[in-house]
Amino acid sequence: MKLDLSLPAAETATGAVAQPVAPLSAKGADLIARTLVEIGVDTVFCYPGGANLEMLDALSRVSITLVRTEHEQGSVFGAQGYARATGKLGVCLATSGPGATNLVTGIADAASDSVPILAITGNVATHWLGKNAFQEVDIVAITKPVTKLARQVREARDIPAALREAATCALAGRPGPVLVDFPKDIQQARPDQPTDKRFTAPVPAGMSDETAQRIAALLAKSERPVIYAGGGVIASGTSDRLKTLAEALNCPVALTMMGLGAMPDDHPLLLGPLGMHGAYAANVAVNEADLVLALGVRFDDRVIGDPASFARHAKIVHIDVDAAEIGKNKPVTLGVHADLRDAFSGLLAHATRRDVPDWHAYLQNHRAAHPLRAPVAAVSAEDSDAGVLTGVDVIAALAALLPPEAVVTTGVGQHQMWAMQHLRLREPRTFLSSAGFGTMGFGLPAAIGAKVALPDVPVIDIDGDGSLNMSVNELSTCRRYGLGVKVLVINNQWLGMVRQWQDMIYSRNRVASSLADPNAPQGADDGRPYPDFVTIAAGYGVAGARVTRAEELPAALARMLADPSEPYLLDVLVAREDDVYPMIPAGKSYRDVVFGPGQSAGPIAAGAF
C-alpha cells in the first residue's frame, strides 16, 4: 500500500483552487530540491518559516513527500524514526533562529545513537549574518560538536556538492547527523555553472586474515566466551551474520538496547539485554567471561557501570567502525578498526565450535533463577490482584499480539525499560528508542517517521505520561496525514524513573516528579488521570480509550490494533509506584544488582564461575 500523504489543494483568498506553479529556472532552492531527489531522498519532515519558504516552494514541485509536523523537534525525530526503521537517510527542514535551534536536541540524540539524518536549515541573507538580524543564529557553530559535518553554503553554485558531501558523510562509517545551512539569498540566487562533484566515503582498512586468526585462537582457548553486540550490528545490516557466528562458535550473546532485534528474542544463545536494567544472566556473562568479543558497541556507562570492575578478568576484543571508540571507556586486549560487514567474513572463515557446557549451564541457572520476562498470564482476571495493572503486564500483553515485523518506538523513562525487557523482538530495526541521549518526547514523532517509511507495517509508540506530554501535539500530524500510529500510554501519574531514583537515593524526597492533578483533593482518585490524554486526542481528531482494570485490557488492545490505518491512543492506568527491576545502581557493578525492594543479588553474585 502506498501511503497517501497529499493534502487537499490549497484555496486562494478568492476561493479558487490554486494551480501548481510552473517550473522555474534553477534558483538555489531548485538546486536543493533537485539534488535531494538525485541522492534518493523521498521524504522531508519540515516546519515552515520565513527563511525556508524558498526551499519548501521548490520541494513542492519535485517527487518528495513533505510531512509537516507540529514542532521542529517533531521534524527531527520524524527524520530519525524514518532513518532508524529503514537505514536510509532521514531528512528534516527548519527555518532560521528558533526553528533551527529547535532541531538541536534531536541532532544531538542522533549523534549519540549513530542515526544518519540530514538537517537542512534556512538562514538570513548573507549580508545580515553576524548582525543579530531577526531570527538569525549561527546554527553551524551550535551544532558542530554534535554532528559529523556542519556547514553553511555561501555560494549557490556549491549547493549540489554540499548536499552530496553531507549525505555521503551521514551514511558512511559510523552513521550520524549532518547539517547544511542555506542563507536566503543563496536559495534565491541563480548560478550559471553549479558544481556537482561526487563523493566517496573513506573505508576502514578492514580486518586482516592474520587478525581474524588471532581472534579465532583466543576463542579456541576460552572457557567462558561471550559476544557483546550493539547498534553497530543493526547499522551495518549484519544481524544474520551475528546469529550465524554465535551458532558456529556455540557462544552466548548479550545485546545492548541499541542492538535489540539483532538476534531473535527466542534464540537459545541469546541471554537478553545487558546493563543497568538488563537481564541478570547477560550481566553475569560479560562480567565473568574470560573472553568478550565486543561487536559494534561503545562500552556505555549504563552498560559497564564501574569501568574498573567491568569484565576485569576477561580478554576483550573490540571491533568497531569508529576507531575513536576503541579503548575509550575500557582498555581492550585487541582493538580492530573495521566495518562489521568486512569483519564478520573473517570471523566466520575461522570460526570453530567451542563446547563449554559448564559455562552454558552456569548462565542458564542464573537465567532461570532471575528471569527477565514475566508471563503474560499475569494479566489474568482470576489473579487476586488482577484489578491493578503494572507496566510489565501491559507490555507483555501487547507483545503477545504483535507480529514480528511490527515497529515499536518508546519515550524515555520506566516504560522504556519495561519495553526493553518484555517485548519479543525478532527482527532488526523494530525497536526504536532514544538510548544514548535519553530524550523524553522521542516516541510519538519517531513513530510518525517510521510509519511514513513503512506504511504497511504496524507502528506502536509505547509512551509514558510524562514523555508523551512533551510531544502529544504530534497527534495532529497523525490525523492530518492519516497515519495509523498507535500510542499506548503507560500512565502512572509520575515522572516514574525520576520518582524511583528519588525514592532510592534522596530519601523519598519527590521534588517536582508528580504528574497528578495539583488541584485534586488530597487522596482523591476518581480514575481520571491528569492530563486527560483521551480528551486531548479527541481534540486532535484521534480516537482513544482509557483502561483502568486488568480485565479491560485484552479487548482494549484488540480495539487499538484493529484498524491499521487509524491513529489511536490507549491510555492505560497502571500501579502508581511500581519500579523497574533488576537495577544496577549507577557506577556500581553487577554484584550490586537489586532485584526488587530490599532484594540484592546476595549469594548468587558471590558465587562466581
Residues with catalytic roles: 72, 134-135, 184, 497
Distance, CA of 388 to CA of 574 (rounded, Å): 7
Question: DSSP 3-state assignment of 208?
Answer: coil
Distance, CA of 107 to CA of 112 (rounded, Å): 9
Closest CA to 480 of 452, 522, 440, 509: 452
For every residue of 173-188, DSSP letters joined together read SS---EEEEEEHHHHH
Q: Beta-carbon neighbour count of residue 66 at 10 Å?
A: 16
Question: DSSP 3-state assignment of 236?
Answer: coil
Distance, CA of 193 to CA of 267 (rounded, Å): 57
Q: In the sheet that 43-46 helps form, which strands lie side by side, from edge to edge?
A: 65-68, 43-46, 90-94, 117-123, 178-183, 149-152
The amino acid sitting at 241 is R
Distance, CA of 503 to CA of 287 (rounded, Å): 28
Q: What are phi and psi of 474, to 5 degrees?
A: -75, -5
**CB distance 160 to 31 below 8 Å:** yes
CA torsion sign for 184, 187, 192, 197 is: positive
Buried b (16+ CB within 10 A) or exposed e, 257-288: bbbbbbbebeeebbbbbbbbbbbbbbbbbbbb
Q: Beta-carbon neighbour count of residue 131 at 10 Å?
A: 8
Distance, CA of 291 to CA of 215 (rounded, Å): 10
Measured CA to CA in angstroms, residue 499 lies from 350, 356, 384, 515, 525 at distances of 50, 43, 27, 11, 19
**For 5, how many CA atoms within 13 A lie in the half-sphere containing its CB?**
25
**For 535, how many CA atoms within 13 A lie in the half-sphere containing its CB?**
5
Distance, CA of 121 to CA of 105 (rounded, Å): 15
